[in-house]
Structure 1
């Protein structure tokens, strides 16, 4: 009789990790929709590096990342946030994912906006059993001929 191995198979582990990562992205979405910076903070590492669409070129640390989201909450009365086509790849205690995301809602001016679609990439790290965003990058396609962001594209 072969000894029992209670550790999950690698494919089972990867599936469980992917589910946990998707749950974390879901928490991010819920926190943004609720305007809850504390909930948003819970999904990032303390030393997160973010290449967001707003200057500067990088935002380092949770405080810098949360400042970007705080500006969103200062602009919007109510936030809608959607992530579409999230693809996740897991390898040990690191993972990456990519998706399309759209931020919209009701501006404090009373104007409703559907927002624009952006591309987002997540670098995830498993710390003490919890998947956290260690890096994110948000980008907008560039119309090279005119030197402008192509903000009217849809997935």
Structure 2
């Protein structure tokens, strides 16, 4: 019989699967159900932080505006789960076909998710997406693969 932690981790992994589905389907309403209303996101786009569900959804809407179709791939997803908070990390890659018809394989990023159990549902309270920094040039390194 699975422990409560195993059950919770399975539910959290399902939430990440729903992110992948929501991005593929360009489903802002579906994505909205995955985030806490007060989510704080440190995404790759400026500004330094995006606060609240509307700011997070605006980032996804911006991505949808660039892509005709898109996919999001997750690798090496790992979680640590507590009673009402959990955190995890993975590598993620957004790719697809741009509106102008150009296919792009995207770039691999590092992603961190922090979940809170709110009214029995695991919701993303914080996420962070980043790329490594080349110290000498001051530029992000976007050609690495996991």
CA distance in structure 1 between the partners assigned to 2:31 and 2:96 by the alignment:
17
Which residue does the alignment assign to 2:52? 61
CA distance in structure 2 between the partners assigned to 1:30 and 1:148 by the alignment:
31
Which residue does the alignment assign to 1:140? 131
2:10 aligns with one of 6, 19, 32? 19
TM-score normalised to structure 2 length: 0.98
CA distance in structure 1 between the partners assigned to 2:22 and 2:115 by the alignment:
18
CA distance in structure 2 between the partners assigned to 1:146 and 1:93 by the alignment:
41
1:30 aligns with one of 21, 26, 35? 21
* CA displacement at 1:27 relative to structure 2: 0.5
TM-score normalised to structure 1 length: 0.92
* CA displacement at 1:139 relative to structure 2: 0.5
Q: What do residues 87-128 of structure 1 show as CA deviations (whole Å, max 9, x unaligned)? A: 000011000010000001000010000100000000100011
* CA displacement at 1:52 relative to structure 2: 0.4
Query: Which consecutive residues of structure 1, in runs of 5 or more, have no partner in the other structure?
Result: 1-7
Deviant stretches of 4+, over 6 Å: none
Length, aligned pairs only: 146
* CA displacement at 1:80 relative to structure 2: 1.0
Query: Is residue 2:62 matched to residue 1:71?
Result: yes
2:103 aligns with one of 88, 112, 115? 112
Q: CA RMSD in A?
A: 1.0
